[in-house]
Copies of this chain bind each other. A is one copy, B any other.
Amino acid sequence: MKAYPSETIIRLASYLKVLNRLEKDKQVVSSFELAQFLKINPNQVRKDLSYFGRFGRRGKGYRVGDLIENIKNILGINRNWCVGLCGWGNLGKALSSYKGFSQQGFMIKVIFEKDPKKLGKKISGIEICGIEDLGKKVKKYSIEIVILAVPQEEAQKMAEKFYQAGIRAILNFAPTNLILPSDCLVRNVDMSSELSYLSYYLTHR
């Protein structure tokens, strides 16, 4: 895998969101317009896209439909992904009904929970399983990505179980750094760091 800046990959996902919204009304979009939506510099847009090929024509901008397809191909979301959600507390419940996931092809196929009282139910047709037969269920539902929405003190242990079950991509909501072998990618949704950015802004503005 070529190492592009992680910020570039995240911005591609943001461009895609803007493009999806523009698609109804526009056929062509300039790097300047894309940049305005995201409050970044147009050069950044051009640089990010240029890593992956030549999608626009100088002075003409990008064709919206083509750029959507290209970014989807790059991000690997030109297909659906089978996702496992681990943790059926408030956060898990919130994430299971979060539209942004399925809209982008991330389909939650199974929920893992260790509290026996919560097991056996189905939520919108999705099975809630215990963690004992985690490996079997990962296989059964062809899970490739796991969303970890468990308490901080359980995150590392659960992450290791999923790694053993063959999972190599984890979205972690617990406020802790997971330590896993280097062939497993962990992305942290770091909510308190984002708040720190706001306090930084209010302090120094």
Contacts and interface: CB of A to CB of B under 8 A. Distances in A.
Interface string A158-173: 0000000000111100
A171 B194 contact: yes
Contacts of A74: 200
A19 to B, nearest CB: 12
A191 B194 contact: no
B99 A152 contact: yes
Interface in A77-92: 77, 81, 83, 89-91
A168 B202 contact: yes
Interface string A61-100: 0000000000000111100010100000111011101111
Top 5 closest pairs, chain A to chain B, by CB: A76-B203, A13-B193, A91-B94, A90-B94, A100-B175
